[in-house]
A and B are shown apart, each in its own frame.
Chain A
Amino acid sequence: MAILETRGLRKIYGSGDTEVRALDGVDLAVEKGEFAAVVGTSGSGKSTLLHMLGGLDRPTSGSVTVDGRELSTLKDEELTIFRRRKIGFVFQNYNLVPVLNVYENIVLPIQLDGGQPDKGYTDQIIETLGLQSKLKNLPNNLSGGQQQRVAIARALAAKPAIILADEPTGNLDSRTSQDVMSLLKVTSQRFAQTIVMITHNEEIAQMADRIIRIEDGRIVVRG
């Protein structure tokens, strides 16, 4: 069964002459454990799709179902709580909380939920991502690659149903990009984690299990 599924997803900004169809009927299903890459050019609607998948924004019509729950049935606060339990985010700009150190950043979503971090599990993540020696550092003392690794660790820590990664390597040089991609791939396998990644970079996308192309708000089936 698909852990992530969209049906007839539409997002329309403005109306009349200025109407922009950012998403125009997207049907998509991602299986558990799958590492999928959404590829598209700038303005193709891939970021909008990610926002819809993550419950950050609400669609004009259509549905998004994550782990059996249809997001549109949730109220704002419920959606927030659902999000912090079921969805992990990795952003191009890392979006770490500058005033918290690496460890605190990683366990923040769990603590916001009032839970206790699973020590063994987080240690495993930290080790996998090679962050053991940086736990006490503040984010702005880290390199971009290191910050992105912290962001990935944070996304993994809450054991979400899916991880949504928005251009995770967009701010990194090619060497570091490779590292980060390898880490994503490894974690996806080791922790059986579903990952949906957005990128405009074909080369990066090739490392995923599956590539979904999007153009003008529609999914293009190509091989």
Chain B
Amino acid sequence: MIKVSNGSCIRRLGFRSMKAARARNAVAVLAIALTTVLFTSLFTIAASINYSLQQENFRRAGGDAHGSIKYISWEQSEQLRRDPLIQDSWCRLFVGMPHDPPFHISHVEVSYIEPNGASHYFCTPVEGALPREGTDEAATDTRVLSLLGVEPKVGAQFTMPITLDEGTSHPRTIERTFTLSGWWEYDSAIPGNNVLLPRSAAEELCALSNGEQDSLTGVWNLDIMFKSAIGIRENLSAVLENYGYQSTEAGAENYLIIGVNWGYTGDRISNGLDPMIFTAIVVILLLIIFTGYLIIYNVFQISVTNDIRFYGLLKTIGATGRQIKRMIRQQALLLSLVGIPIGLLLGFVTGNILAPVIIAYLNYKYTFVSFNPWIFIGAAAFSLLTVFLSCARPGRIAARVSPVEAVRYTEGGQQSGKKGGKRKAAAGASLPKMAWANLGRSRSKTVVTMISLTLAVVLMNLVYTFTNGFDMEKYLSDLVATDFVLGHADYFRLSENFRSADQALPEEAIAQVISQGGITEGGRVYGQEGTIQALLPEEYLRQGISIVYSEEELDSVVASREHVSEDTVAGSAQLYGLEDFILGEINVLEGDITPLSDPGRNVIAAVYAADDYGVIHEDDNCFKVGDTVTLRYVKEWVNVDADTGEEITAEESVARWNRGETNFVPRAKVYEEKEYTVCAMIEIPRALTYRYTILGGSKLAMGAELFRRDTGTSSVMIYAFNTDEAASTAMDDFLKDYTESVQPTCGYESKQSMTAEFEGFRSMFLTMGGTLAGIIGLVGVLNFINAVLTGILVRKRELAMLQSVGMTGKQLNTMLVYEGLYYTMLSAALSLVLSAALGPLVGALCSAFWFFTYQFTVLPVLMVIPLFLILGILVPLLMYRSVNRRTIVERLREIES
């Protein structure tokens, strides 16, 4: 075939014939815009969540550099930072940390950071500036200032202790006075606080270092930004290599330690995007494509059907099928050019309204709205994909039109002689029957329109079924044991939890709360994990970790654990210390808990946890009443090679870690062993537990006093208490203020806040689902309007003819209303059937949420029926009125074109 250039002519034809179809264009543009709105808001929400997660991670990681090269000299940093791979870099000179009160409860680092790096450490003064060279100035955050009791005011003087050479054999603490040059707000998401000094002052302090090998005082870190966050580790290694260094052989002359910011690493992000969310996004994407397809396809299908003569004619005078397809594609593209930008804009607005709703639920401290250009590129691409998918079949139909068709249509000299004509006559001339026959004329249009209407209703019904099934009683009974629970903020964070003494609740906070009054009863739960081991049966460990390891891995993993005998290993344990009030709240499964309160008895309770359905499994803990438990209080850990069991140095461990090798495990080196007798098996209400489990580890509880005595620690995990009715609101207000402004490292939960959180959770789903169903509903209605309008337009002459042979205007309107009602009522019926059928299915799926109780409901469908009635009546009437402004004769005469 000869390749011919006829593009411009096809373009003109397409463009002109498009201009002739204004109504269709308006509907198509709206449809494309709505589809784009759905895509854009979905992407905006997803990107915002991801971005907020990343920002939160950067704060937890303490900075947003891609990576760093650690513990080097200034000369080394000057050398390394010249590498062309590096986009941006800044150095940090570490001085020391204050430890003496009031700094014992916080992590503060004193250092010099190059000015361009300050913002990367989230140290941008809101007032004042970074310290000037050659002065006694320093800049810090409001938390450090409040610990010092200094008003955040530029020029204020403050004196603080700084411990140098920490971790060496001779650390020493000095005191210095600084003038505040600038300050920024404390951010509780950032685990450490910074005090920034000018370089000269930092170097002067570092000069006081004892110079021991392990000292961090006086070492430089080089933080690096590469061109992209992909392959940070490889890039860092490449930089080292370029200057003759390496990070894999610990102990070698040219060995340097590198760090990759885990806030960037792919697996961390993919952890955030768990398979359930991923599946949800894919399902919603497909749903949107389907929704868009339903309407855009319908619009094009109807317009092609109506213009079939036109395409036949083009075929006759020599347009090829390919040219006609191209013409239709070009029209679609042009309509997209208008519709997509509108949709992008509206979708971005919608997404920005919705994203904070979800992010608030996810408990991120920060809500960042992402302006990532990929949102728009992606949404536009998906919309275009939908548009092209949608007009593929109409294009094929137009292209396949037989040229004779055009001639045949003209031969009759009449409107298309559709097959329905005969049936109509046979059915008699009653208006409802005529209307019914009219629907059957174009079945695909009728069916697509109905599905489009039905989709939104069914979706709404599913969302409602889902949220309606949220069972507050179930939720609260499991999550709330007492009116209030106070703990370290990390304890309440799903991603952090209580893991070390750093995350203990300060006694001072408990004292503050008690001083508020109104507390009827309360008690502490002490906790310790990570520095305690329990001797466990090997089989129990194997069972516990079997869900994360394959059969082959399992043997070597179990073997790598320290065996104290053939079948006994040193395993992990979560140890509780329970005060009497808490003992009163727990559920005793077997045995007697009264001996727990007596520290002289050396007894312990085995803790069992119920699964999501409230069932307690016997193998949840390896200890039963009467068993002897051996606990190890570990003072010092070492790493050993997983295969040989030989001790390896800390440096070697880091080096192996940097090489991506994980063939080493920690082992207790110095410890004290004690034995206890199990006096009871208990269940602690979920709200008062660690809220996470260690696979293959044991859960054990002691009385508070015994806990403090034997562990030698007194880390309070939580303080749980009840208040009298009258004081509860005041307490809630106090705690809200206290945990936000006074002691941001603390967090709390109250029955009230849990109720609110639950409602928030429910309303989030309602908002999301409602918005989605609402927009899809809008698409459905638009589709319906288009179907009715085109149905009237295409029959203009036929309707005039009906009037000319004696049908009154009223009868005509009635017939059209019947048609409209058939559409909407059939859709309602279909929705009812589908909702009833899908409801139990959703119920079964959602039972995965433990607080979900399935209740059958078709309430939303029933509520939509009146709306559909009104639509079914009004839409045909309004559409007909808009085209029926001329006399019958004029309309009869009108030449079809």
Interface residues of A (CB under 8 A from B): 47, 51, 54, 56-57, 76-78, 80-81, 83-85, 89, 91-93, 95, 97-100, 104, 108-109, 111-115, 140, 154, 158, 166
Contact = CB atoms under 8 A, between A and B. Distances in A.
A56 B318 contact: no
A112 B318 contact: yes
A113 B321 contact: no
Contacts of B17: 97, 99
Given A98-B20, A140-B897, A91 B407 contact: yes
A78 B1 CA distance: 8
A130 to B, nearest CB: 22
Given A80-B315, A111-B6, 12 more contacts: A54-B316, A81-B2, A83-B318, A84-B318, A84-B319, A91-B410, A92-B410, A97-B13, A111-B8, A112-B9, A112-B10, A113-B6
Contacts of B19: 99
A77 B318 contact: no
Contacts of A54: 316
Q: Give the 3 A-B residue pairs with the shortest CB-CB distance, closest first.
A: A84-B318, A114-B4, A111-B9
A135 to B, nearest CB: 16
5 contacts: A81-B318, A95-B317, A97-B17, A104-B12, A111-B6
Interface string B403-416: 11011001101000
A98 B407 contact: no
Interface in B318-361: 318-323
B511 interface: no
Interface in B452-475: none
A100 B13 contact: yes
A56 B407 contact: yes
Contacts of A111: 6, 8-9
A34 to B, nearest CB: 23
Nearest to A155: B317
Contacts of B314: 97, 112
A97 B310 contact: yes
Contacts of B10: 112
B469 to A, nearest CB: 56
B6 A112 contact: yes
Contact of B318 (A76, A113, A166): A113
B16 interface: yes
B726 interface: no
Interface in B861-897: 895, 897
A47 B406 CA distance: 13
Contacts of B315: 80
A100 B410 contact: no
Contacts of A112: 6, 9-10, 314, 317-320, 323
Contacts of A140: 895, 897
B313 interface: yes
B9 A93 contact: no
Given A47-B411, A89-B316, A76 B321 contact: yes
A77 B323 CA distance: 10
Interface string B18-42: 0110000000000000000000000
B746 to A, nearest CB: 73
A89 B402 CA distance: 15
A147 to B, nearest CB: 10
Nearest to A76: B321
A152 to B, nearest CB: 13
B79 interface: no
B288 to A, nearest CB: 34
Contact of B1 (A77, A92, A158): A77
B5 interface: yes
Contacts of A108: 9, 13, 317
B897 A98 contact: yes
A77 B413 CA distance: 28
A24 B317 CA distance: 27
Given A92-B410, A93-B410, A51 B897 contact: no
Nearest to A111: B9
Contacts of A78: 1
B448 to A, nearest CB: 27
B330 to A, nearest CB: 14
Nearest to A85: B318
A56 B411 contact: no
A140 B404 CA distance: 23
A85 to B, nearest CB: 8
- How many B residues are at the interface, by size bracket? 35 or more
Contact of A77 (B322, B403, B407): B322
- With most chain A CB atoms within 10 A of its CB, the pick from B8, B20, B407 is B407
A56 B12 contact: no
Nearest to B411: A47
Nearest to A158: B318
A80 B320 contact: yes
A51 B408 CA distance: 10
B866 to A, nearest CB: 43
Given A51-B407, A100-B16, A112-B323, A56 B316 contact: yes
Contacts of B9: 108, 111-112
A92 B1 CA distance: 32
Contacts of B13: 97, 99-100, 108
Contacts of A89: 316-317
B1 A95 contact: no
Contacts of A95: 313, 316-317, 406, 410
A6 B768 CA distance: 69
Nearest to B322: A77
Contact of A97 (B313, B410, B895): B313
Nearest to A93: B410
A202 to B, nearest CB: 20
A81 B320 contact: yes
A154 B2 CA distance: 23
Nearest to B3: A114
B320 A77 contact: yes
Q: Which of A57, A81, A111, A140 has the most CB of B within 10 A?
A: A111
Interface in B555-609: none
Contact of B403 (A56, A92, A113, A114): A56
Nearest to B316: A89
A185 to B, nearest CB: 23
Contacts of B6: 111-114
A111 B317 CA distance: 11
B363 to A, nearest CB: 59
A107 to B, nearest CB: 8
Interface in B65-80: none
A157 B405 CA distance: 24
Nearest to A55: B403
A89 B319 CA distance: 13
A98 B36 CA distance: 33
A91 to B, nearest CB: 6
Contacts of A97: 13, 17, 310, 313-314
Contacts of B20: 98-99
Given A97-B313, A98-B20, A108-B9, A80 B411 contact: no
Contacts of A91: 407, 410
B25 to A, nearest CB: 13
A154 B316 CA distance: 12
Q: Most chain-B Cβ atoms within 10 A of its Cβ — which of A56, A92, A109?
A: A56
A57 B410 contact: no
A47 B1 CA distance: 30
Contacts of B407: 47, 51, 56, 91, 166
A56 to B, nearest CB: 4
B258 to A, nearest CB: 62
B853 to A, nearest CB: 61
Interface string B104-118: 000000000000000
A200 B485 CA distance: 99
B5 A114 contact: yes
A99 B17 CA distance: 6
B328 to A, nearest CB: 15
Interface in B645-701: none
Nearest to B14: A99
Contacts of A84: 317-319
